[in-house]
Structure formats: structure tokens, C-alpha cells
């Protein structure tokens, strides 16, 4: 088995219950896309090839650079057409996000731009965004649909997301967010739209387009009763669910999602104590999205202390989308999580690695340990807290996907 030895790393393993899990002068042996051995360089087996049963084909000296698990961006809306800069201007004049959505703008305006974009245009733009994330240490991303809102355009968005993963070689998990908003053809008929989504889901699933099912539970989107029908359909297909819940108001979405054993509940500014207890019981991850909080100039901070007390794992993501989070900077998200939500830098990094992986149902990544995927980020930094400290610093030297330097 051909192996690569990565030497002289300041490894941040994020092993459970070990703080940062820092190993000052570490070595890692990878075989193909998997970590075979990690530990202090001083205790590296003397006869590596014999002791590990591998054939060493390459050695990389990392020169003391910081080595972390590759970042996992577990909540993005990367596939869409157009932009919403005019809406940004309106909001700065005092018009609210909800008011814009109610007057037919917001998500709907991106739906128009997405439907009129060609497949190639959608693909090129999504690839460019994904490449930008990769250049900053991201090795796994989730991509949601949700700007097509028709049988044709949702499928097109999901296919585009799959194609991004194939083209760039990074792991892309696709999430169907057809229940994101009511499309114009179904104006005033949300229940009919939900029925249509439930009829489309099995077809998309049969085509292998969906890894999870999501919905937007909000006054301007869908009620818990409507989402329950979508979740029942997902359950019937054996698909896991997640939910945009309690972003702008408490609609009881997180408790509903927990009832369905959701992988994650996302946003959560307004989540109640009772719903947090239900999430803890169900093992759902809390995905916090500080960039959307910041960009919408929200003031209700998610109850981080209550999530910690309940033992709910906290993940972080960019939420990249044209309406509420037009950013492609994972390190800024780490910084915002610390400055706005008072996470510690260590919690923030776990939030974009191991807990984010869990929010996608992936248990083979997010920590540096034997048997895990060889997805790494190499940083020109001395201390891991710097990951959440610098802003606009471009500290990522290399991204390594499945043992391959990008």
C-alpha cells in the first residue's frame, strides 16, 4: 500500500476531550485517502514500512505549519443565479428582510434569476464559489437546492451540486430545500405546493440527487404542520432531515425536527429551552450561522449557554447565499461566532470540523485520527486560536483532499 509521510506538523487533532489536541512536532502517515497513523514524530515507528505494512512513496515536510482537519461547511446555498445587492440597499434604508420577502423579493427574486440561468452558468458560478472555499481550507461542503422551486429547477440545482463535487473532487453533500419559499405558480396555495414537493421527492431520490431534506420554518415560509408532511415523506424514503428553524421567530420548528431525529437544526436565534432539550434527546446538532445574523443586523443571539448546558453539539457554517450571507470566508465565520456569539476559538474550530461533519451525518472526518479521511488544511499560523482571530489574512497554505494536495 502506497503511503505518504507528512512530517514536522503542528497538528491540531481535535481528539475528544483533549482541548485542541495539539501535537507540537507531529507526523502523519496517509494511505490513499485515509490517515493510517498520527502521533509525535519522536515515536514514529522506526521501520515505518515494516511496522505499518506500507510502502512509502512520498515525504512532505510541513515546516512546523499548523495542520488541522479540513474544514466542513455544513450549510450553504451555493447554486443560484444573480445577486441581491439592491435588496441590501433597501434593507440599509430600513426595509426589513421579512417585508422584502412579503412583497415578492427576497428568495423569490433569486428564484427568478436561477430559473433563467443556463445549466453552465449555474455550474460555473457554483464551482467558483466552491473553489474559493477550498482555497481557505474547506474539504467538505453541503449544498442546498431551494432557488428552483419547480420540479425541473430543483432537480437542475441538485444535479449542479453533484457536478460541482465531481468536478472539484471535494465531498459535496446535497440537501433538497424545495420547501424554501412558495413559488409564484403556487401563490396563496402553500398546501398544494407542499403536496407537489412530496410528489417530486421520490423522483429526485430515485435519481440519487438527495442526501438530506431541509425546509424553511418561518412566518414568511412554511408552518410546522406543512413541514411535517415533507418530513414524513423524507422518512418514508429513508432520507435524514434538517431544518432552518427559529431564525426570525419561534415557530416550534426545532422541536418538530427533533421529533424526526433531525441531523441538525440551523440558525436557532429564537429556539426555546424545551426545544433544546428535545434536540439533545434526539442527538440533533445546532448549526449556528453568525454571518446571516450579522448581515441581517439581527439582535437576538442564539442561546449558546443553554445549548452547552444541554450538551447539544454546536456547528458553524457560512450559510453562503445571496440574501442573508453573501460571504465565502470560513475564517470570518469563526471570528463572528466568537465575537458575536461568544464561542471560544476552540469551540468555533470544532464547530467547523467535527460537529459540522456530524450535522451532515459523516463520522469519518473532522478530527485527525487513524482511520479518518486524509482531509487537511495547512495554515501559516503558530497557534490554533489565530484561526478565529485574523480577519482577511489568507492564512491557508494548502488544502489536502483525501491525501492529495490541491
* Dihedral sign (CA 95, 296, 319, 280): negative
Total residues contacting Fe ion (rule CB under 5 A)? 1
Burial (Cβ within 10 Å: 0-12, 13-18, ≥19) of residue 331? buried
| Residue 106 interface partner, choices ligand NIG, Fe ion, none, CB cut-off 5-8 Å depending on type | ligand NIG
Strands 242-245 and 396-401 come out as unpaired
Closer to ligand NIG by CB, 245 or 343: give it.
Answer: 245
Element (H, E) at 149: none
Report the site for ligand NIG in 168-227 (rule: CB under 6 A): 216
Q: Is 283 left (phi over 0), alpha (psi -120 to 50) or beta?
A: left
Report the alpha-carbon distance of residue 141 to residue 134 in Å, rounded. Answer: 9
Minimum distance from residue 112 beta carbon to ligand NIG (Å): 12
Minimum distance from residue 9 beta carbon to ligand NIG (Å): 35
The reply to whether 292 sits near ligand NIG by the rule CB under 6 A is yes
| Residue 329 interface partner, choices ligand NIG, Fe ion, none, CB cut-off 5-8 Å depending on type | none
Minimum distance from residue 107 beta carbon to ligand NIG (Å): 4
Minimum distance from residue 114 beta carbon to Fe ion (Å): 15
Closer to ligand NIG by CB, 106 or 302: give it.
Answer: 106
151-168 and 190-206 helices cross at what angle (nearest 10)?
Answer: 40
Closer to ligand NIG by CB, 72 or 325: give it.
Answer: 325
315 beta partners: 287
Contact status, residue 400 vs residue 379, Cβ threshold 8 Å:
no
Q: How many other CB atoms sit within 10 Å of the CB of residue 97?
A: 22
Closer to ligand NIG by CB, 244 or 373: give it.
Answer: 244
Residue tagged 477550498 (cell numbers) = 134
From 247, 284, 318, 399, residue interacting with ligand NIG (rule: CB under 6 A) = 247
Give the contact letters, 44-63, x = binds to ligand NIG (CB under 6 A), - = no. Answer: --------------------
The reply to whether 244 sits near ligand NIG by the rule CB under 6 A is yes
Burial (Cβ within 10 Å: 0-12, 13-18, ≥19) of residue 302? buried
404 beta partners: 401
The residue range among 29-37, 43-51, 115-123, 317-325 that interacts with ligand NIG, by the rule CB under 6 A, is: 317-325
Minimum distance from residue 147 beta carbon to ligand NIG (Å): 7
Closer to Fe ion by CB, 170 or 291: give it.
Answer: 291
The residue range among 187-195, 205-213, 314-322, 355-363 that interacts with ligand NIG, by the rule CB under 6 A, is: 314-322
Report the alpha-carbon distance of residue 253 to residue 97 in Å, rounded. Answer: 19
Minimum distance from residue 248 beta carbon to ligand NIG (Å): 8
Whole-Å CA distances, 98 to 90, 132, 248: 12, 30, 9
Minimum distance from residue 270 beta carbon to ligand NIG (Å): 13
267 beta partners: 245
Contact status, residue 180 vs residue 221, Cβ threshold 8 Å:
yes
Minimum distance from residue 126 beta carbon to ligand NIG (Å): 15
| Residue 323 interface partner, choices ligand NIG, Fe ion, none, CB cut-off 5-8 Å depending on type | ligand NIG
Minimum distance from residue 319 beta carbon to Fe ion (Å): 5
The residue range among 14-22, 24-32, 316-324, 326-334 that interacts with ligand NIG, by the rule CB under 6 A, is: 316-324
Report the alpha-carbon distance of residue 227 to residue 235 in Å, rounded. Answer: 12
| Residue 264 interface partner, choices ligand NIG, Fe ion, none, CB cut-off 5-8 Å depending on type | none
Residue tagged 440533533 (cell numbers) = 284
The reply to whether 153 sits near Fe ion by the rule CB under 5 A is no
Report the alpha-carbon distance of residue 119 to residue 134 in Å, rounded. Answer: 22
Q: How many other CB atoms sit within 10 Å of the CB of residue 150?
A: 17
Report the site for ligand NIG in 99-138 (rule: CB under 6 A): 106-107, 110
Report the site for Fe ion in 285-324 (rule: CB under 5 A): 319
Report the site for ligand NIG in 323-362 (rule: CB under 6 A): 323-325
Report the alpha-carbon distance of residue 48 to residue 57 in Å, rounded. Answer: 12
DSSP E strand boundaries for 93-164: 138-144
List of residues contacting Fe ion (CB under 5 A)? 319
List of residues contacting ligand NIG (CB under 6 A)? 106-107, 110, 216, 244, 247, 292, 319, 321-325
Amino acid at each position: 500500500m502506497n503511503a505518504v509521510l507528512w512530517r514536522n506538523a503542528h497538528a491540531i487533532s481535535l481528539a475528544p476531550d483533549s482541548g485542541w489536541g495539539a501535537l507540537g512536532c507531529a507526523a502523519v502517515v496517509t494511505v490513499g485517502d485515509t490517515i493510517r497513523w498520527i502521533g509525535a514524530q519522536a515515536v514514529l515507528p522506526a521501520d515505518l514500512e515494516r511496522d505499518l505494512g506500507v510502502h512509502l512513496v512520498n515525504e512532505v515536510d510541513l515546516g512546523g505549519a499548523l495542520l488541522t482537519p479540513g474544514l466542513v461547511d455544513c450549510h450553504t446555498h451555493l447554486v443560484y443565479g444573480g445577486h441581491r445587492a439592491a435588496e441590501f440597499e433597501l434593507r440599509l434604508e430600513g426595509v426589513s428582510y421579512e417585508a422584502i420577502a412579503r412583497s415578492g423579493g427576497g428568495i423569490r427574486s433569486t428564484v427568478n434569476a436561477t430559473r433563467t440561468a443556463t445549466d453552465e452558468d449555474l455550474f460555473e458560478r457554483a464551482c467558483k464559489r466552491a473553489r474559493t472555499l477550498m482555497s481557505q481550507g474547506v474539504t467538505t461542503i453541503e449544498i442546498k437546492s431551494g432557488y428552483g422551486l419547480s420540479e425541473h429547477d430543483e432537480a437542475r440545482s441538485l444535479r449542479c451540486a453533484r457536478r460541482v463535487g465531481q468536478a472539484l473532487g471535494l465531498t459535496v453533500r446535497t440537501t433538497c430545500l424545495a420547501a424554501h419559499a412558495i413559488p409564484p405558480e403556487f401563490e396563496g396555495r402553500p398546501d398544494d405546493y407542499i403536496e407537489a414537493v412530496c410528489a417530486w421527492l421520490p423522483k429526485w431520490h430515485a435519481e440519487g440527487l438527495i442526501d438530506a431534506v431541509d425546509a424553511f420554518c418561518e412566518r414568511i415560509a412554511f408552518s410546522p404542520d406543512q413541514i411535517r408532511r415533507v418530513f414524513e415523506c423524507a422518512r418514508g424514503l429513508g432520507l435524514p432531515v434538517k431544518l432552518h428553524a427559529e431564525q426570525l421567530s419561534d415557530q416550534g420548528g426545532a422541536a418538530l425536527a427533533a421529533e424526526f431525529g433531525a441531523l441538525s437544526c440551523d440558525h436557532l436565534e429564537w429556539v426555546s429551552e424545551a426545544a433544546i432539550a428535545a434536540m439533545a434527546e434526539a442527538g440533533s446538532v445546532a448549526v449556528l450561522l453568525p454571518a446571516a445574523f450579522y448581515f441581517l443586523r439581527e439582535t437576538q443571539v442564539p442561546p449558546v449557554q443553554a445549548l452547552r448546558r444541554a450538551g447539544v453539539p454546536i456547528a458553524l457554517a457560512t450559510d453562503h447565499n445571496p440574501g442573508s450571507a453573501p460571504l465565502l470566508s470560513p475564517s470570518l465565520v469563526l471570528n463572528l461566532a466568537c465575537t458575536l456569539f461568544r464561542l471560544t476559538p476552540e469551540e468555533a474550530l470544532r464547530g467547523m470540523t467535527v460537529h459540522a461533519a456530524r450535522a451532515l451525518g459523516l463520522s469519518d472526518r473532522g478530527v485527525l485520527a487513524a482511520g479518518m479521511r486524509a482531509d487537511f488544511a495547512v495554515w501559516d499560523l503558530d497557534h490554533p486560536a489565530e484561526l478565529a482571530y485574523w480577519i482577511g489574512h489568507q492564512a491557508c497554505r494548502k488544502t489536502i483532499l483525501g491525501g492529495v494536495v490541491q
